[in-house]
Amino acid sequence: MTIRKRWGMSSIAQRKDAAKYQAILAAAIKVMAESGYHGAQVARIAREAGVADGTVYLYFKNKEDILISILRETIGQIVMLSTWLEGEHPEPLIALKKLIEAHFTTLGSNPELALVLQVHIRQSDKEIRQQVTDMMRPYQMTLSRILTLGQQTGVFLQTLDVRIARRMIFGTIDETVNAWIFRGAKYDLTTLIEPVYETLMHGIGV
């Protein structure tokens, strides 16, 4: 499967064929899911994409750039999809549920992509992990916007610490995807949208 929407495509890729760019990303996801980041060779990615080795470097600087591009475009797709689903006048609770829905739908439809992002990117080099924070910023900003809007409209507690709540929400979503991956992605991840949302909104108390 390919990442269906492009978000922040590198300046190198913008000057090239978008179809080949997506083919290389899709091939990289497949190869990295099978062999891990360190075991994925650019030559094998090129062969899987049906292009020459040199063609890969017309779109990406190196293998690290490919991995970061996968993360950047996936996060961009989730944010864009959740924003589109919210509509022009988002209601905080609906907006939060749509973000969960966008996250689970995007990764749930592509287990190989989920495996790369949940497992292999976290086993990559320190330099790559440092870039992950920057790539996650649009997602975190979306969460902060939802939480702040909820406070302004009286839906969420005025005393809520947005930073802590943001980490809690993302952590719950992230760990749910982890559990799905580690269990072999044998069930439909989107069936957990409602339970996760209900737990986040209503907690575990009576």
Q: Which domains does the chain have, with CATH numbers?
A: 11-202 (1.10.357.10)
Q: Which of 131, 124, 116 is nearest to 31 (CA)?
A: 116
* Token pair in block for residue 47: 């062969």
Residue 128 has pLDDT above 50, yes or no: yes
Mean pLDDT of the chain: 88
Q: Which of 194, 204, 90 is nearest to 150 (CA)?
A: 90
**What pLDDT digit, counting tens, does each position of 33-80 carry?**
999 998 999 999 999 999 999 999 999 999 999 999 999 999 999 988
Q: Which of 32, 108, 101 is nearest to 66 (CA)?
A: 32
Residue 150 has pLDDT above 60, yes or no: yes
Residue 10 has pLDDT above 60, yes or no: no
- Cα(67)–Cα(31) distance, integer angstroms: 11
- Cα(161)–Cα(174) distance, integer angstroms: 20
Backbone φ and ψ of 10, nearest 5°: -60, 155
Block residue for tokens 């902060």: 144
Mean pLDDT, residues 118-127 taken together: 81
- Cα(6)–Cα(109) distance, integer angstroms: 17
pLDDT band at 111 (very low <50, low <70, confident <90, very high): very high
Residue 3 has pLDDT above 70, yes or no: no
The answer to whether 144 touches 162, Cβ cutoff 8 Å, is yes
pLDDT band at 119 (very low <50, low <70, confident <90, very high): confident
pLDDT in the model for residue 21: 94
- Cα(119)–Cα(194) distance, integer angstroms: 25
Instruction: Say which residues have a Cβ less than 8 Å from residue 174's Cβ, sequence separation at least 6.
Output: 118
pTM of the model: 0.85
